[in-house]
Amino acid sequence: MATRSRRRFDDDDFTLSLPPNDLPPNDLPPNDLSPNPEHDPEHDPDEPSWSSYPDAAHGPQPLPGWVLTSPAAIDTDLGVMKTGKEADVSLLRRAHDGREVLMAVKRYRDAQHRMFHRDAGYLEGRRVRRSRENRAMATRTEFGRELIAGQWAAAEFAVLSRLWRAGAAVPYPVQLQGTELMMEFIGTPEGVAAPRLAQLRPDSREAAHLYHQMRQVLVALAEAGYAHGDLSAYNVLVHQGRLVLIDLPQAMDVVGNPQGFEYLLRDCVNICTWFAARGVHADPHELRDELLVSVPRA
């Protein structure tokens, strides 16, 4: 993708305290969290360009067979699928040698149009190495907001990578560059995105099956030390009966974050309320206790 497309990237709030053996967001090479001086807001987002994969940080191994890695591949931005307070998500087609794949591209907005209004709790404990950058992030200068945007993208990339390796139901993170994250598109080959859980009207049997999947994916998060941090029926996709968790930039270390246990319970209350309204026995405190057993304490 051209410079502008590579640098404008996605999502919401996050507190990343990565468990041992994971690099913090600012240590993920070759991703640069600093503002991009070559940013070109006039670039046409629909103009095809060479694949940005060779210049980006790559997702975890083993690489899924559908991922196109050739520098000769062509990227075409097909337009915005979802707008959010801090980011937009677009659909991208990458094609090479008769093959093509669709991906979701998450881009944080520029500092003037981004609203980090809920990030204080999520950012607790997150630091970068240089004191100037820490001060800029704390005072929310324009430069500091750009740094925060880069951390959101890098944080989600790191969380998705770890969870995907653990077998959790999350999109595969293809690449990270600056404040832009490319990931597996969950939907049809024609580009129709999978519906969110909130859009479904399941009967009690279908809802019970989905709740069983929800518990499985939340246990996988807990075993990795994470709480989602902003879980709701709007942050879950359902594709061909399979539940997939999305929007994870604010995922947090349950033990390391001072508010980690509160966020975990809030996640449980939000999702259990939705399922209970559809006839499922979903007690948030029972779910919270189940997840706490899985959280590593060392």
Cβ-Cβ contacts under 8 Å for 43 (sequence gap 6 or more): 2, 3, 4, 5
Among 88, 119, 230, 253, the one annotated catalytic: 230
Among 12, 77, 247, 267, the one annotated catalytic: 247
> End-to-end distance of the chain based on CA atoms, in angstroms?
42
Please return the burial class of 99, using the count of CB atoms within 10 Å of its CB with bins 0-12, 13-18 and 19+: exposed
To the query of whether residue 55 is one of the catalytic residues in this protein, the response is no
Q: In whole angstroms, give the CA distance from residue 63 to residue 187.
A: 20
Q: In whole angstroms, give the CA distance from residue 278 to residue 267.
A: 18
To the query of whether residue 46 is one of the catalytic residues in this protein, the response is no
Task: Enter the tokens of residue 102.
Answer: 């669709």
Torsion of CA 41, 45, 48, 49, to 10 degrees: 40
Q: How far lies 121's CA from each of 70, 140, 158, 289, in Å?
A: 40, 15, 19, 22
Provide the 8-state DSSP code for 109: P
Residues identified as active-site: 230, 247
